[in-house]
């Protein structure tokens, strides 16, 4: 099936008449909560009827939700896929029903003609931005790094790990000594950081933490404080998302850097759908959002204020 075949059924319809099903992963992080809030707001502002389904981190719930959206005959589906594999059959079913699917923030390993477009950041690049920051910060010093990974099998966990390692290539003074999933949650970050600190004899020789999201970094900051070390000084902390709480932690000196991932994935997704519904315009296969680095020198409290009411 080509995208043109796939989307041929609903072109030329006005946005206000449309129903869009949204299969969301869950509410594992502040970033995820903001994405949900902004998707609901964007739909309301545009007069789109949003059917929301919370998968509570389970791929089988997402597959069931998509099947239900197809059975209802929705006009489009937004999918934030919890993991990268295992989507072919259900995406084929949506394609057979000529319902365009837009991926939000995470990627799948299915063929590109099974979805209309993907809105998100370059996830490998995010990891590279975080790694480049650390390389610049430590210079020639020896640095033992611990890594809190995102949900196993998810595209951000895979790609952010790759990108960070890309940045460290040729910098043999920096070594990743421990790496484990904290499942993108604050509690997971705290628990795994506690085990890292214990396994590393208290943590005095850990130079930096790389967390695949801010929530895990925030949990780890608690663990580091409770271990009697100073997060942000004894252990440098770099993470991804740019949620308000990480800016508060930066202002307090507890975190050092974050790479922004906008939670407004729905805006570009609905823009693409509205253009398609208006005259059949097909979007690019990837609508890329920015990956801006923020550090303690970027007025963290101003960044906190700018984001605090966005639903995080």
105 lies in the binding site for ligand AHR (CB under 6 A): yes
State how far the alpha carbon of 29 is from the alpha carbons of 5, 154, 178, 186, 245, in Å. 37, 14, 23, 7, 11
28 lies in the binding site for ligand AHR (CB under 6 A): yes
Among 128, 132, 241, 245, binds ligand AHR (CB under 6 A): 241
Among 146, 235, 242, 261, binds ligand AHR (CB under 6 A): 261
81 lies in the binding site for ligand AHR (CB under 6 A): no
244 lies in the binding site for ligand AHR (CB under 6 A): no
C-beta of 94 vs 265, nearer to ligand AHR: 265
- Which residues from 184-213 bind ligand AHR, rule CB under 6 A? 184, 213
For residues 256 and 164, give the distance between their C-alpha atoms in angstroms, rounded to a whole number.
16
- Residue 276, CA atoms < 13 Å, CB-side half-sphere: 26
For residues 296 and 232, give the distance between their C-alpha atoms in angstroms, rounded to a whole number.
10
Return the range that interacts with ligand AHR (CB under 6 A); candidates 29-37, 40-48, 88-96, 252-260.
29-37
Yes or no: say if 188 and 182 are a contact pair by the CB < 8 Å rule. yes
Among 134, 240, 259, 269, binds ligand AHR (CB under 6 A): 240
Decide the pairing of beta strands 19-24 and 286-288: unpaired
C-beta of 105 vs 254, nearer to ligand AHR: 105
C-beta of 182 vs 203, nearer to ligand AHR: 182
156 lies in the binding site for ligand AHR (CB under 6 A): yes
Report in angstroms how near the CB of residue 182 gets to ligand AHR at its nearest.
11
For residues 151 and 158, give the distance between their C-alpha atoms in angstroms, rounded to a whole number.
9
C-beta of 23 vs 29, nearer to ligand AHR: 29
Place of tokens 């197809």: 70
Report in angstroms how near the CB of residue 184 gets to ligand AHR at its nearest.
4
106 lies in the binding site for ligand AHR (CB under 6 A): yes
DSSP element (H, E) containing 4: helix 3-7
For residues 244 and 247, give the distance between their C-alpha atoms in angstroms, rounded to a whole number.
5
C-beta of 20 vs 118, nearer to ligand AHR: 118
For residues 163 and 53, give the distance between their C-alpha atoms in angstroms, rounded to a whole number.
31
Structure tokens at 287: 């609508």
C-beta of 77 vs 240, nearer to ligand AHR: 240
Which of these, 261, 243, 240, lies nearest to 105 by C-alpha position? Answer: 261
C-beta of 46 vs 212, nearer to ligand AHR: 212
With a CB cutoff of 8 Å and minimum separation 6, the contacts of 89 are none
Report in angstroms how near the CB of residue 115 gets to ligand AHR at its nearest.
16
Place of tokens 């006005």: 14
For residues 107 and 189, give the distance between their C-alpha atoms in angstroms, rounded to a whole number.
23
Residue ranges that bind ligand AHR, judged by CB under 6 A: 28-29, 31-32, 105-106, 156, 184, 213, 215, 240-241, 261
């Amino acid at each position: 099936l080509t995208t043109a075949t796939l989307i041929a059924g609903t072109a030329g319809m006005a946005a206000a008449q449309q129903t869009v099903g949204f299969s969301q992963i869950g509410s594992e992080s502040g970033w995820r909560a903001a994405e949900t809030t902004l998707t609901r707001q964007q739909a309301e502002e545009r007069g789109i009827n949003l059917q929301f389904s919370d998968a509570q981190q389970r791929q089988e719930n997402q597959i069931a939700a998509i099947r239900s959206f197809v059975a209802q005959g929705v006009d489009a589906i937004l999918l934030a896929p919890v993991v990268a594999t295992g989507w072919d059959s259900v995406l084929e079913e949506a394609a057979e029903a000529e319902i365009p699917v837009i991926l939000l923030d995470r990627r799948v390993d299915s063929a590109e003609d099974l979805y209309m477009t993907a809105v998100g950041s370059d996830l490998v690049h995010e990891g590279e931005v975080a790694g480049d920051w650390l390389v610049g910060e430590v210079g020639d010093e020896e640095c033992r790094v611990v890594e809190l990974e995102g949900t196993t099998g998810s595209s951000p966990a895979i790609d952010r790990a790759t990108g960070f390692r890309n940045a460290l290539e040729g910098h043999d003074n920096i070594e990743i000594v421990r790496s484990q999933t904290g499942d993108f949650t604050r509690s997971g970050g705290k628990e795994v950081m506690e085990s890292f600190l214990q396994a590393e004899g208290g943590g005095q020789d850990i130079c930096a933490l790389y967390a695949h999201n801010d929530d895990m970094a925030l949990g780890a900051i608690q663990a580091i404080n409770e271990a009697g070390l100073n997060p942000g000084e004894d252990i440098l902390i770099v993470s991804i998302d740019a949620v308000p709480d990480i800016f508060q932690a930066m202002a307090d000196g507890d975190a050092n850097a974050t790479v922004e991932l906008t939670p407004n994935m729905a805006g570009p997704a609905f823009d693409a759908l509205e253009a398609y519904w208006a005259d059949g315009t097909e979007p690019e296969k990837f609508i890329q959002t920015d990956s801006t680095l923020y550090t303690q020198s970027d007025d963290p409290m101003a960044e906190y204020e700018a984001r605090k009411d966005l639903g995080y």
